[in-house]
Amino acid sequence: MPDSLQGQVTAGSLVEVPFREKALTGVVLELTAEPGCEESRVKDILRLLEAEPFFGRKTLMLVEWMVSFYGATWRDTLFAVVPAPVLAQVQRPGKPRGPRRSTLPASIHYPAPSLLDEQRQALKAIRPGEKVLLYGVTGSGKTEVYLHAVEAALQSGRQAIVMVPEVALTPQAVERYRGRLGDTVGVLHSGLTAAERREQWWRLRRGELSVALGTRSAVFAPLQDPALFILDEEHDHSYKQDQTPRYHARQVAVRRAAQTGAAVVLGSATPSLESFYLAQTGYYKLLELSARVTGRKPPPVELVDMRRRPRQLLSQPLVERMRETLARDEQVVLLLNRRGFSSYLQCGLCGHVHKCPHCSISLTFHKQARHLRCHYCGHTTAPPDLCQACSSPELSYRGGGTERLESELATALPGVELARLDRDTTSRAGGHAEILGRFARKEARVLLGTQMVAKGLDFPDVTLVGVINADGGLNLPDFRASERTFQLLTQVAGRAGRGQLEGHVLVQTLDPENACLVSAAQHDYAGFYARELELRRQVGYPPFCRLVRLVVSGTQAEEVEHEALDVARILSARVAQAELLGPAPCPLEKVRGRWRWHLLGRTAKVQELVQGARTYFDQKANNPRSDLQWSVDPDPQDLL
């Protein structure tokens, strides 16, 4: 540190440093008298970028914990904590920091209802330092409890962070929070423009806003002294980041809350098995809201047996119900958790399925675009006329996605306005809001889509929900397949009958006796939980152990396999406390031209395994002749 900067640079400062021939931005992690290497090789800091230290002491401690717990680099972790547009700008100082006035519309004030008994008890339990699991069906008044808890935090002069899973969900959430809490609510999610994100972040940082409402990354909102962290729909897997640092917002929230003695509130109608188990064993305090505020029972769910017509997307009972519903001027939501027109192209003679050349999954036919597309890497190709394997012309399109459902609906219900919500129709900015807006204004009468339609939507005239292929997710090679299906069905069923009108749910399935589906149809979380927990106990999966997933990938299949075997051998010698399962090819064996193998470590000591793997991988990562990559994922949510 040059003398001119003495006293100005401290831990957390952003500085410009010489690196090779360039000047790069660096973060000062600590001040020390010991040079890290030979004294003559240490270069001077060029200049200080921000007068105030950019990262506070608590943030640096949190980052340090994430680096070691998630086995990520400091760089990736620091970047995850601050939104990219903010970082990009502080690296070019002197630029204005965006508009000071909020660009969001002003809010209308909504009065608060007085709380019901169970709500009041829940609110009382949300105290500093407490960790709470709020378990209550949709419509049982959880959000109302959150709002009161946030108000209490603000009254004590502190701040609050509220997380919701999806950007799609956020417009309604924003309206509700701002309607109650006024212009003190800042919004942080990836759907905002860079300028909006920067503006919101700085206003939170300067203390002009006291509530941060957003998706996963809002857990890092730059508030001085948060008293409350809320994760709504805590079971949602979007709370886990799927690239390094592979953090879970729930874990970070608990960690960050401990720094300021804040309360953590997890809310869900279908808590994750892990959280519910931790509540039963005392780590979280379990609070229940047992009924809908309206007193209405959850909608009846009927399973429709599709075994006699497996190729059909729409059953007769569902079409009839839809006609009746539409005739009463009510609305319909349909869930089919798969995009595109048909799932795959199969040869009628030899059975060959056309797969992506870069990934090990079948290509999906998109009718409007007239091509086959890979949903992992985006590879597209014209549909072939002949089978690639046997040159037979007998190719047929099998399975079905939202695009085909849309076209079958147009035939079954001529003249009915449809709105389709999936990643293909929402890829444009504002796509979401536009589609949901049309449905809200009843310009569209049927909303169909992927899991996006299951989450959070609140339209009072929706009285019928149909699930097209409930089995779709059940057979994935992932131990959470049943749990995910149960959660999805419960959530989508919750879209029906939210207003004054009674709702109905029809679930089409090839497996009507399946225990998971039957529990979902009976709204029986307790039954599902007990059975699933017992299965997990028998096979020794979470919550009865912790897992760490290690993935090796590379373009050379043989090299990847050898490396995976090496990793298994070396780690089982080095990390005595872990039981390693595998190695085996990942269920998705190849993605974007890279072959993938994985290992699952089962252990009570996650840290030890993560560190052991990281140390070994870092040693190997410097070989310029190989393109192998390794990843470490503690408490993995994705096993494909």
Q: Which is nearer to Zn ion, 379 or 562 (CB)?
A: 379
* β-bridge mates for residue 506, sequence order: 302, 466
Q: Which of residues 383-412 bind Zn ion (CB under 5 A)?
A: 387, 389-390, 392
Q: Which is nearer to Zn ion, 140 or 364 (CB)?
A: 364
213 and 250 in contact (C-beta within 8 Å)?
no
H/E element, 273: helix 273-280
Judged by DSSP in three states, 520 sits in helix
* List 141, 298, 401, 634, residue binding ligand ADP (CB under 6 A): 141
Query: Max alpha carbon distance in the chain (Å)?
Result: 83
Integer Cα distance of 640 and 540 in angstroms: 19
Structure tokens that stand for 207 in this block: 């203390």
Distances (CA, A) of 385 to 146, 390, 396: 57, 12, 10
Q: Which of residues 105-134 bind ligand ADP (CB under 6 A)?
A: 113, 115-116, 119
113 binds, among Zn ion, ligand ADP, none (CB under 5 to 8 A by kind): ligand ADP
* List 31, 350, 369, 526, residue binding Zn ion (CB under 5 A): 350
Cα dihedral 307/403/241/490 (nearest 10): -40
Q: Could you tell me which stretch among 311-319, 331-339, 356-364, 545-553 binds Zn ion (CB under 5 A)?
A: 356-364
CB of 266 to ligand ADP, least distance (A): 13
> Between β-strands 131-136 and 211-214, what pairing exists: parallel, antiparallel or unpaired?
unpaired
* List 123, 132, 142, 448, residue binding ligand ADP (CB under 6 A): 142
Q: Could you tell me which stretch among 66-74, 142-150, 321-329, 618-626 binds ligand ADP (CB under 6 A)?
A: 142-150
CB of 348 to Zn ion, least distance (A): 8
Judged by DSSP in three states, 103 sits in coil
Say whether residue 491 binds ligand ADP (CB under 6 A): no
For the beta carbon of residue 302, count every other beta carbon within 10 angstroms.
Answer: 14
Q: Which is nearer to ligand ADP, 138 or 260 (CB)?
A: 138
Say whether residue 138 binds ligand ADP (CB under 6 A): yes
58 binds, among Zn ion, ligand ADP, none (CB under 5 to 8 A by kind): none
* List 5, 286, 293, 501, residue binding ligand ADP (CB under 6 A): 293
142 binds, among Zn ion, ligand ADP, none (CB under 5 to 8 A by kind): ligand ADP
112 binds, among ligand ADP, Zn ion, none (CB under 5 to 8 A by kind): none
How many residues lie near Zn ion (CB under 5 A)?
15
CB of 392 to Zn ion, least distance (A): 5
Distances (CA, A) of 206 to 32, 86, 199, 253: 30, 14, 11, 21
* Number of Cα atoms under 13 Å in the Cβ half of residue 401: 25
The span from the first CA to the last CA of the chain, in angstroms, equals 48
84 binds, among Zn ion, ligand ADP, none (CB under 5 to 8 A by kind): none
Integer Cα distance of 466 and 507 in angstroms: 6
Structure tokens that stand for 611 in this block: 């560190």
591 and 356 in contact (C-beta within 8 Å)?
no
Structure tokens that stand for 307 in this block: 């075994």
For the beta carbon of residue 620, count every other beta carbon within 10 angstroms.
Answer: 15
CB of 164 to ligand ADP, least distance (A): 11
* List 309, 352, 371, 531, residue binding Zn ion (CB under 5 A): 352
DSSP alpha helix (H) spans, 157-272: 170-181, 194-205, 249-260
How many residues lie near ligand ADP (CB under 6 A)?
13
CB of 376 to Zn ion, least distance (A): 5
Q: Which is nearer to ligand ADP, 18 or 113 (CB)?
A: 113
Integer Cα distance of 484 and 248 in angstroms: 17
374 binds, among ligand ADP, Zn ion, none (CB under 5 to 8 A by kind): Zn ion
Say whether residue 104 binds ligand ADP (CB under 6 A): no
Q: Which of residues 357-416 bind ligand ADP (CB under 6 A)?
A: none
Integer Cα distance of 388 and 385 in angstroms: 9
CB of 113 to ligand ADP, least distance (A): 3
String of DSSP letters for 476-508? SSSTTHHHHHHHHHHHHHTTSS-SSS--EEEEE
141 binds, among Zn ion, ligand ADP, none (CB under 5 to 8 A by kind): ligand ADP
* List 164, 228, 359, 507, residue binding Zn ion (CB under 5 A): 359
Q: Which is nearer to Zn ion, 382 or 539 (CB)?
A: 382
Q: What angle do CA 257, 268, 63 make, to 5 degrees?
A: 30
Residues that bind ligand ADP (CB under 6 A): 113, 115-116, 119, 136, 138-144, 293
Residues that bind Zn ion (CB under 5 A): 347, 349-350, 352, 356, 358-359, 374, 376-377, 379, 387, 389-390, 392
